Structure 1
Amino acid sequence: MSFDLELTGRRVLVTGGTKGIGGAVVTALRQAGARVVATARTVPTEAPGGVHYIAADATTPAGCETIARGALELLGGIDVIVHVLGGSSAPGGGFAALDDQEWQKELDLNLMPAVRLDRALVPTMLAQRAGVIVHVTSIQHELPLPESTTAYAAAKAALSTYSKALAKEVASRGVRVVRVSPGWVETEASVRLAERLAAEAGTDYEGGQKIIMDSLGGIPLGRPAQPREVADLIAFLVSPRAAAITGTEYVIDGGTVPTA
C-alpha cells in the first residue's frame, strides 16, 4: 500500500502559516509536493522552496482582498484552502471583562477571514468543480473556558456553524468542506496562555499548564497534541485519499471531549 497523498502540484492557501499549527501545515503540504501560499501579518524574508508568503492583515476586508488576489496570481488558481488563522487576545475575568471591542476583535480574527476568503475564492473552485476547504475550529466551541476564552469559543462556534452550511451548499458541485477541531496544542500561543494564567494565579508555568488541564477536565492521553500531528491530519483530509469526506468535524484533542 502506498502512503502517497497525491498532493503533488496542488495549489494551496494556508492562513496563519508561519507559526504553530499553520507553520506545521505549510511544512507538511510542501513536503507532500503541494505548491503553497501562506499568509501572516509578518512573513519570513526567505521562503523554502515551493512556498510563497503574502504579508497582509487577514482581520480586515482589505487584507483578505490582498490575500485572495495574491494567491490567485501566484498559483494561477486554487485547489485547497486551509484556514488556520485564529487565537485570542481577550483579557481574563469572565464575561464582564469583554466589551464590544473585545468581542469584535475575536470575531474579526476567528470568523471573518474565513468568510471573506471563501467568498472570494470558492467561486473558482466551483468553476473547476473541485476543491477542498478546511476550517480549523477548536474544542472550545464545546468546552469554553469561562475565565478567559468566552469570546474566542463563541467565534469558533460561529465558524463551525458557517462551515456546516457551506459544506451543504457546495458538496454537490465538487467542493469538500471539513472542520478540524484541535484541543490543547503545544504552540507558541498556548504557551503564552499558560504563562498568563500562571501569572494571574501567582504560580509557575507548570501551574498554568495544570490550570488549563483542569479547566478542560483533563486530557486522557496525558499531553497536548503537537502541531505536526494536527498538520498530518489536515494533509490527509485535503488529499484525494479523503475524497468521500465532507461536512464533518475531526477532533484531535487527546480524548479531552468526552465520547459515549
Structure 2
Amino acid sequence: MSLAERDRLDRRTALVTGGSRGSGKAVVDRLRAMGADVWATARTMPEGYDRADRFIEADTSTTAGVEAVAARIAEAGALDILVHVVGGSSTPAGGFAVITEDQWLAELNLNLLGAVRLDRALLPAMIESGRGVVVHFGSIQRDMPLYDASLAYASAKAALRTYSKGLANELAPRGVRVNTISPGGIQTEAYENFVDTIADGNQMTREEARQHIFDSLGGVPLGRFASTEEIADLVGFLVSDRASAIVGAEYVIDGGTVPTV
C-alpha cells in the first residue's frame, strides 16, 4: 500500500458523535476529505446542513437516543470508524457538595455511558467484519480535575479512559483498534464566548481574560489552545492505516498543559 493510500479512507463508513459543531464538525469534515462516507449525530441538526441524509438527530446520553442512532446505522451496514466526540459539563461551581444526584447522572450519561452504550450497539458488527477503529474523546481533566466546577465531568472522563483501555485489550485480537484522545483547551466558538464572559465580568481586555484562563490551568506552554483542525488532524491519523499498530493509547493534545515528564 502506497503512502498516499494509507492516508485515504475510501470505501469506509464512519460515525462521529457531537458532529454538528466545534471539534466534532471538524472531524466530520476531515474524514469526508479523506474519502470516508461519514454519518454525524447530535441533538440538533444545524440549519442548512449540507448532508442531511447523513445526519441523525439524537441525544446519545439517553438509551433512546443510542437506539435511534444504532437503528439508522444498521440500515447503512457495518461501520469501519466510530469517533465519540460528544461531551461537556453543566454542573454549577461550588465543589462536590453542590453537585446533585441528577447532575452526577447527567454527566456520567453524557461523558461515559453514552459511549459505552453506543459501542455495545455498534461494535459487534465491527467484530464480525474483523476490522474497525474506535476513538474516544477523553480530557486532560482526568489528570487535572477542576474540582470547583467540573468534578463530575472529570470523573466521567477518567472512567472513560479506563474503559477504553480495557476495551482496546479485548478487541485488538479481533481486528478492532480502540484509542483515546484527551484534549486540553480547544479554540471553539464556545471558548471565545467564555473569554468574552471572563473579560466582561472582570473588566479585562480579551487578551487579559485569555491569560487569566491559562493561569487557572497552571499555564499553557504553547501559549494557545489547539484548533479544531488540529484535533481533526490527530483523529485522521489515528483512524488511518498509518496508525494500524496503535492500540490502547492515549494521545494528549493540550499545548503542554499537563505538567508531566
- Equivalence for 1:218: 219
- Indicate whether 1:184 and 2:173 are aligned: no
- Equivalence for 2:230: 229
Listed as ranges, the matches of 1:107-256 within 5 Å are 107-195=108-196, 205-256=206-257
Deviation at 1:40, TM superposition (A): 0.7
Give the CA RMSD over aligned residues: 2.0
Q: Letter of the aligned partner of 1:166 in structure 2?
A: L
Within 2, Cα distance between the matches of 1:97 and 1:205? 30
Deviation at 1:44, TM superposition (A): 2.9
Give the secondary structure class of the aligned counterpart of 1:14.
strand
Give the secondary structure class of the aligned counterpart of 1:219.
coil
The sequence identity of aligned pairs, in percent, is: 52
Could you list the runs of 5+ residues in structure 1 that have no partner in the other structure?
none
Change (3 A) 1:220 1:148: same
When the two structures are aligned, how many residues end up with a matched partner? Answer: 259
Would the aligned equivalents of 1:30 and 1:50 in 2 still touch at CA under 8 Å?
A: no
C-alpha distance after superposition, 1:118-166 (max 9, x if no partner) = 0001100110110000000010111111221111111111111111110
Deviation at 1:2, TM superposition (A): 3.8
Within 2, Cα distance between the matches of 1:145 and 1:34? 37
Question: Which residue of the other structure, out of 61, 68, 71, is the alignment partner of 2:70?
Answer: 68
Within 1, Cα distance between the matches of 2:97 and 2:142? 19
- Indicate whether 1:11 and 2:18 are aligned: no
Q: Letter of the aligned partner of 1:21 in structure 2?
A: S
Within 2, Cα distance between the matches of 1:193 and 1:13? 29
203-212 vs 245-254, which moves further: 203-212
- Indicate whether 1:20 and 2:11 are aligned: no
Give the secondary structure class of the aligned counterpart of 2:187.
coil
Give the secondary structure class of the aligned counterpart of 2:25.
helix
Give the secondary structure class of the aligned counterpart of 1:171.
helix
Would the aligned equivalents of 1:35 and 1:51 in 2 still touch at CA under 8 Å?
A: no
Within 2, Cα distance between the matches of 1:111 and 1:205? 33
Q: Letter of the aligned partner of 2:20 in structure 1?
A: T
Could you list the runs of 5+ residues in structure 2 that have no partner in the other structure?
none
C-alpha distance after superposition, 1:154-197 (max 9, x if no partner) = 11111111111101111111000000011110113333444555
Deviation at 1:53, TM superposition (A): 0.3
Would the aligned equivalents of 1:145 and 1:215 in 2 still touch at CA under 8 Å?
A: no
C-alpha distance after superposition, 1:91-126 (max 9, x if no partner) = 112222211111111111111110000000110011
